């Protein structure tokens, strides 16, 4: 009898059922579909082309000293942390956990700045075109990955996945916000690397493997989360290419990818501290470390269980936003995401969902299940930005889903293609409704990114517990407050600003920026005691900050004027003015007011001394010169008084009339 043949594990590439045989020829026209996908992606975001620079755009474009130099700044971009050109000083750029080395997008911005200057249209046009190209590249890469000529349903799956990716509203932050162009460049680099690696396997031509390494290196220079594809590309070869079918091996094909990754790490380590490669130490500052809580008058770290539960809650939110992308917001800073425990049912549901996905991915590895690869394509990029492995400085962000959503869309497309075998109408109905609703949501969400005013005031309704966003809204209101002429509107606006800042401070009691904004708002409303108290508090938190000292001096000066002129309280007036002068002895207005205060009290010699100090600091100030002249006149020195009044009149011919009418305050 013949021996029973031993069964071996399957070496077939990933299989997926679908309706490839009945797939319309129109949709098998790859060239036509490529153009249609490009056009769809572009049109969905065409309404962002008239937007301005918003949110973090200033950090990488308009307020970045390297970007604004055009091509001359490229050397500085390549040799420094991404945020160095904004902070403009050593050390401050490392306030962001782990530092950032993402020069590719800034190099692009420098070139665009060289061409068109600070034209938002040019930057938005480039971003939308890159996104459209990324969608086209995704389609062509999935076609090559799935090899529809050999496997059933490849055309359908590639088309379904790409259309879902193009219309998904979760991508509005990436495309509508120019700064997030780094995400698009990373996607393009990773997809191109996968495409070339597949070409290298299929043709056996070494040049494609080298090309894969080059574009993957550029992807790493765009954003660090490209590292996931150093694992995903070899996995793609394992899942979708049978051993022995190519003229090379997975290892040989992947060598340029690994080499590019190592080269990137070495370059990054040469420019940033080596410790930052693994995320660096987490700062004890809430806006850069969301896993802190205020207890006993100090900041302490979350308990391990609290941290893990909070992370799994955000992972659940990611799943929810991929399936139902509503509501959307640009801000997930503390405490938009609260402190979670494993008693929260959504945390437990998240744990179950991700455990199931992990189990499916592992179980499908040997069988080379396409869905298992799609899950890995989702899980690995998401894991990098999840805070599970490395701290990313915030709880979550919609832009973090840009790369992982490729995996989500692939899995969704695979399930839809399988559903079509049994119920084509249901599958196409689900797909059509999703595309329609996603497209509408994308088009309606885009205008929110038109300006900071609109973005902040819209999203604060969603992220009402975000200290950062509440403070940003307060800052916007303060800016409007300074130009508002209507007293009633100004008061209402100021009260709204203070209420928002106070809410931010309930979540972050020593939020320096919020305290300064509240101080500025009190200043504009003429509430000087409150303004002075806040500037003192801000200075306590940063004793060496010269700007805060200047603002405290200014608030003290105006407080002194307020006490003297409106309250007739000379004791508090002199107290404020004396302290203001001690902080800033170069302010002529403070010296002048001290002169006026002494003059009113009949202390003419003391008044004269202060008027002289004001004149020394500001020799061309007509008011100080006129008042100094009055002081000399009261001291009997008429010649000096006449000389000073003539100098004042030469500067301001109406100074005498202003003095006579009491117009000098």
Q: Using one digit for the tens of pLDDT, what is the confidence trace for 405-460?
A: 999 999 999 999 999 989 999 999 999 999 999 999 999 999 999 999 999 999 99
The pLDDT score that the predictor gives to residue 622 is 86
**Same domain for 181 and 276?**
yes
The pLDDT score that the predictor gives to residue 17 is 52
What confidence tier does 91 reach under pLDDT thresholds 50, 70, 90? low
pLDDT tens, position by position, 121-152? 999 999 999 999 999 999 999 999 998 655 55
Tokens in use for 400? 């973090």
The pLDDT score that the predictor gives to residue 247 is 61
User: Which of these, 229, 227, 195, 189, lies nearest to 209 by C-alpha position?
Assistant: 195
Q: Is residue 6 over pLDDT 60?
A: no
Tokens in use for 384? 């990098």
Specify the higher pLDDT residue, 36 or 659: 36
User: Which of these, 184, 659, 86, 249, lies nearest to 405 by C-alpha position?
Assistant: 184
Q: 557, 583, 609: which is the final residue of a domain? A: 583
Q: What is the 3-state secondary structure (H, E, C) of 492-504?
A: HHHHHHHHHHHHH
Specify the higher pLDDT residue, 613 or 92: 613
Sign of CA dihedral 139, 142, 146, 147: positive
Q: 263, 280, 297: which is the final residue of a domain? A: 280
Owner of token pair 């916000």: 177
Residue 160 lies in a domain: no
Owner of token pair 């819209």: 458
**Same domain for 191 and 219?**
yes
Q: Which domain holds residue 595?
A: 585-665
**Same domain for 577 and 613?**
no
Q: Is residue 246 over pLDDT 70?
A: no
Residue 495 lies in a domain: no
The pLDDT score that the predictor gives to residue 584 is 94
Specify the higher pLDDT residue, 11 or 389: 389
Q: Structure pTM?
A: 0.90
pLDDT tens, position by position, 310-326? 999 999 999 999 999 99
- Give me the CATH number covering residue 620: 1.25.40.10
Residues 6+ apart with CB under 8 A from 415: 371
Specify the higher pLDDT residue, 2 or 323: 323
**Same domain for 196 and 267?**
yes
Distance CA 536, CA 247 (A): 72
The percentage of the chain sitting over the pLDDT mark of 70, rounded to a whole number, equals 92
Specify the higher pLDDT residue, 101 or 547: 101
User: Which of these, 88, 96, 65, lies nearest to 273 by C-alpha position?
Assistant: 96
How many folded domains does the chain comprise? 3
Q: Do residues 271 and 101 touch, judged by C-beta distance below 8 A?
A: yes
**Same domain for 557 and 641?**
no
What confidence tier does 633 reach under pLDDT thresholds 50, 70, 90? confident
**Same domain for 228 and 276?**
yes
Q: Is residue 172 over pLDDT 70?
A: yes
**Same domain for 544 and 615?**
no
Q: Is residue 276 over pLDDT 60?
A: yes
**Same domain for 559 and 649?**
no
The pLDDT score that the predictor gives to residue 97 is 63
Owner of token pair 């990754």: 261
Residue 111 lies in a domain: no
Owner of token pair 């490009």: 38
Residue 422 lies in a domain: no
Residues 6+ apart with CB under 8 A from 483: none
Q: Is residue 387 over pLDDT 60?
A: yes
**Same domain for 250 and 197?**
yes
**Same domain for 626 and 655?**
yes
**Same domain for 186 and 252?**
yes
Q: 262, 280, 298: which is the final residue of a domain? A: 280
From residue 37, alpha-carbon distances to 41, 125, 163 in Å are 6, 17, 7
- Least confident piece of the model among 51-65, 294-308, 648-662: 648-662
Residue 618 lies in a domain: yes
What confidence tier does 280 reach under pLDDT thresholds 50, 70, 90? low
**Same domain for 208 and 247?**
yes
Q: Is 174 exposed, middle or buried (0-12, 13-18, 19+ CB in 10 A)?
A: buried
Tokens in use for 617? 């600091």
Q: Is residue 503 over pLDDT 60?
A: yes
Q: Rounded mean pLDDT of 300-306?
A: 97
Residue 560 lies in a domain: yes
Q: Do residues 293 and 371 touch, judged by C-beta distance below 8 A?
A: no
Q: Which helix (H) or strand (E) holds 472?
A: helix 467-481
Residues 6+ apart with CB under 8 A from 146: 16, 153, 154, 157, 158, 240, 370
Average pLDDT, the chain: 91
Residue 368 lies in a domain: no
Residue 638 lies in a domain: yes
């Amino acid at each position: 009898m013949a021996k029973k043949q031993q069964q071996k594990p399957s070496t077939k590439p990933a299989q997926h059922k679908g309706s490839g045989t009945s797939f319309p020829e129109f949709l098998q026209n790859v060239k036509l579909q490529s153009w249609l996908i490009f056009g769809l992606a572009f049109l969905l975001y065409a309404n962002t082309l008239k937007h301005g620079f918003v949110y973090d755009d200033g950090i990488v474009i308009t307020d970045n000293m390297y970007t604004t130099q055009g091509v001359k700044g490229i050397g500085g971009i390549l040799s420094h942390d991404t945020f160095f050109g904004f902070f403009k000083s050593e050390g401050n750029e490392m306030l962001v956990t782990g530092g950032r080395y993402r020069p590719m997008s800034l190099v692009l911005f420098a070139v665009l700045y060289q061409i068109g200057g600070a034209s938002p249209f040019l930057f938005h046009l480039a971003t939308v075109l890159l996104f459209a190209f990324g969608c086209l590249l995704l389609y062509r890469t999935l076609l090559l990955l799935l090899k529809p000529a050999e496997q059933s349903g490849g055309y359908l799956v590639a088309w379904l996945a790409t259309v879902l990716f193009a219309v998904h509203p979760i991508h509005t932050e990436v495309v509508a916000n120019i700064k997030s162009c780094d995400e698009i460049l990373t996607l393009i680099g990773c997809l191109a690397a996968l495409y070339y690696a597949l070409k290298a396997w299929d043709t056996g031509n070494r040049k494609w493997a080298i090309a894969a390494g080059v574009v993957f290196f550029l992807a790493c220079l765009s954003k660090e989360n490209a590292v996931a594809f150093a694992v995903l590309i070899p996995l793609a070869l394992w899942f979708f290419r049978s051993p022995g079918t190519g003229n090379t091996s997975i290892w040989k094909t992947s060598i340029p990818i690994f080499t590019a990754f190592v080269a990137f790490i070495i370059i990054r380590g040469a420019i940033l501290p080596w410790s930052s490669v693994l995320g660096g130490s987490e700062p004890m500052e809430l806006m850069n470390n969301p896993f802190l809580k205020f207890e006993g008058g100090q900041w302490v770290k979350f308990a391990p269980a609290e941290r893990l539960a909070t992370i799994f809650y955000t992972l659940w939110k990611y799943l929810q936003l991929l399936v139902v992308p509503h509501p959307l917001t640009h801000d997930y800073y503390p405490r938009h995401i609260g402190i979670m425990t494993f008693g929260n049912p959504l945390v437990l549901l998240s744990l179950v969902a991700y455990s199931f996905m992990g189990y499916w991915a592992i179980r499908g590895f040997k069988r080379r299940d396409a869905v298992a690869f799609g899950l890995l394509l989702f899980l690995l990029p998401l894991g990098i930005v999840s805070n599970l492995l490395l701290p990313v400085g915030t709880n979550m962000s919609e832009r973090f889903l840009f790369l992982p959503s490729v995996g989500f869309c692939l899995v969704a497309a695979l399930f839809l293609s399988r559903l079509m075998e049994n119920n084509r109408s249901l599958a196409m109905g689900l797909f059509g409704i999703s595309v329609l609703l996603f497209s509408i949501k994308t088009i309606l969400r885009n205008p929110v990114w038109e300006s900071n005013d609109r973005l902040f005031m819209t999203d604060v309704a969603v992220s009402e517990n975000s200290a950062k966003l509440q403070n940003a809204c307060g800052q916007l209101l303060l800016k409007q407050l300074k130009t508002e002429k209507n007293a009633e509107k100004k008061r209402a606006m100021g009260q709204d600003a203070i209420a928002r800042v106070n809410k931010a401070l309930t979540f972050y009691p020593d939020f320096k920026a919020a305290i300064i904004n509240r101080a500025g708002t009190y200043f504009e409303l003429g509430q000087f005691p409150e303004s002075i108290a806040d500037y003192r508090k801000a200075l306590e938190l940063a004793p060496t900050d010269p700007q805060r000292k200047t603002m405290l001096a200014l608030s003290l000066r105006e407080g002194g004027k307020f006490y003297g002129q409106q309250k007739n309280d000379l004791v508090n007036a002199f107290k404020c003015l004396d302290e203001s002068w001690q902080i800033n002895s170069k302010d002529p207005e403070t010296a002048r007011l001290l002169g006026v205060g002494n003059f009113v009290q009949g202390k003419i010699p003391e008044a004269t001394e202060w008027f002289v100090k004001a004149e020394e600091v500001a020799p061309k100030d007509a008011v100080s010169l006129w008042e100094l002249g009055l002081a000399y006149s009261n001291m009997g020195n008429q010649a000096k008084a006449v000389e000073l009044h003539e100098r004042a009149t030469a500067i301001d011919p109406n100074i005498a009339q202003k003095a006579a009418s009491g117009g000098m305050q």
